[in-house]
Amino acid sequence: MSTPANLFTPIRIGAVEAPNRIFMAPLTRCRAAAGNVPVELNALYYTQRATAGLIITEATSVSPRGFGYPNTPGIFTEAQVAGWRTVTNSVHAAGGRIFLQLWHVGRISHPSYQPDGGLPVAPSAITPRGQIFTGTAMADYVAPRALELSEIPGIVAEYVHGAQLAKAAGFDGVEIHNANGYLLDQFLRDGTNHRTDRYGGSVQNRARLTLEVTEAVVGVWGADRVGIRFSPGGVFNDMRDSNPLETFGYVLQELSPLNLAYAHVTAVTAQDIAHGAKAGVGPRELRSSYRGNIVTAGGFDLGSGNQALAEGWADAVAFGVKFIANPDLPARFRAGAALNEPDETTFYAPGPKGYTDYTALAR
């Protein structure tokens, strides 16, 4: 009988040989420079965390229309490619592996972020509840503009272009951001997709854009260097679905034959439940719908991460806040060492404080 995997067990994740199953989750940190370009500070941040089994970068917009937060990076200009190449070269020199997360925020934006000052785009003209930081002040979300059917191929093309530029920037692969209430997630869930054309209505239609984008990105990278992220139980960004197990079960079943590197399926946390999410909609319940590698995330620690692997409903675990404060998280887990406490006031603040100044274990 084989020994169950734990977080220190190496894993082949698609084409990538990962030395452990302690992945770095995608984390928006709002520290890109002018032009949404990564700089040396970002390279240092990721390089400090190169002992992760796999780094998944912060969400990175594939389009000038895809932004909804200040100082987040893009992947649609040559300057952005050059900036990201600084990051990948440094991470690889330190022995790390790094995927770029491809992103479009859809309706979670504001005219102040749009290149023409126009409305954000979405599957349907449904205003999200809540407010957005415009870079200078808080403002109510606006009603987005529903994408015309003729515009949707252009959305797919933006993901393809981003995937191509990610390859030029030296990444090891890409993760498609289909979670957390952003554009692809908005198409997938019936709470935000009220379309009556071939991209709305049935779960088959609502999943169409996800599948088209994934197949197109696979055409650039090959399936073994592509992952995709879902948050089936999430309510962040005013998200809901009438039957999430059916919705996400269907899309995972449809993705299985592609043999992607992984599906990244987040677990419902106590914080999610406090904001209205329901338990029982996550990787454990959806494991049977997907036959490939499942990466999960959502408040795990060493013990609960190992338990998820031992029970077989996850193959690797992505850690977010713990990696913010502990650049050497795998070493700390292995040594049973105390973890640094994160400074939440610096999560989205500029500069190195709370970004590259957390201490590592003495060697």
In a domain, 118, yes or no: yes
Q: Rounded CA gap, 258 and 222, in Å?
A: 10
In a domain, 299, yes or no: yes
Residue range 99-110, pLDDT digits in tens? 999 999 999 999
Give the contacts of 259 (CB within 8 A, at least 6 positions apart): 223, 224, 292
* CATH number of the domain encompassing residue 116: 3.20.20.70
What angle is formed at CA 337 by the lines to CA 296 and CA 10, rounded to 5 degrees? 45
In a domain, 352, yes or no: no
Phi, psi of 352 (to 5 degrees): -80, -20
In a domain, 313, yes or no: yes
Nearest to 60 by CA among 44, 46, 49, 48: 46
Nearest to 18 by CA among 299, 362, 318, 356: 318
In a domain, 361, yes or no: no
Measured from the Cβ of residue 294, the count of other Cβ atoms closer than 10 Å reads 23
Q: Rounded CA gap, 150 and 148, in Å?
A: 5
Q: Per-residue pLDDT for the chain (363 aa), expressed as one digit of tens each?
A: 467 799 999 999 999 999 999 999 999 999 999 999 999 999 999 999 999 999 999 999 999 999 999 999 999 999 999 999 999 999 999 999 999 999 999 999 999 999 999 999 999 999 999 999 998 999 999 999 999 999 999 999 999 999 999 999 999 999 999 999 999 999 999 999 999 999 999 999 999 999 999 999 999 999 999 999 999 999 999 999 999 999 999 999 999 999 999 999 999 988 888 878 888 899 999 999 999 999 999 999 999 999 999 999 999 999 999 999 999 999 999 999 999 999 999 999 999 999 999 999 976
Which CA distances in Å does 162 have to 24, 101, 178, 207?
A: 21, 10, 15, 21
Active site (annotated) includes residue 348: no
Phi, psi of 285 (to 5 degrees): -75, -25
What total of structural domains would you count in the chain? 1
Q: Tell how many helices (H) and how many strands (E) occur in the chain.
A: 12, 14
Q: Which of 141, 159, 182, 355 is catalytic?
A: 182
In a domain, 44, yes or no: yes
In a domain, 2, yes or no: no
Q: Rounded CA gap, 20 and 13, in Å?
A: 10
Q: Rounded CA gap, 65 and 147, in Å?
A: 12
pLDDT at 2 (0 to 100): 64
Provide the CA 274 distance to its chain's centre, in angstroms: 22
Which CA distances in Å does 245 have to 182, 189, 191, 202, 263?
A: 19, 11, 14, 14, 15
In a domain, 234, yes or no: yes
Nearest to 33 by CA among 353, 350, 357, 316: 350
Residue range 57-92, pLDDT digits in tens? 999 999 999 999 999 999 999 999 999 999 999 999
Greatest distance between any 2 Cα atoms in the chain = 62
Q: Are 67 and 59 in contact (CB under 8 A)?
A: no
Residue range 342-353, pLDDT digits in tens? 999 999 999 999
Q: Rounded CA gap, 363 and 352, in Å?
A: 23
Q: Domain span at residue 20?
A: 11-346
Question: What amino acid occupies position 67?
Answer: F
Q: Are 156 and 104 in contact (CB under 8 A)?
A: no
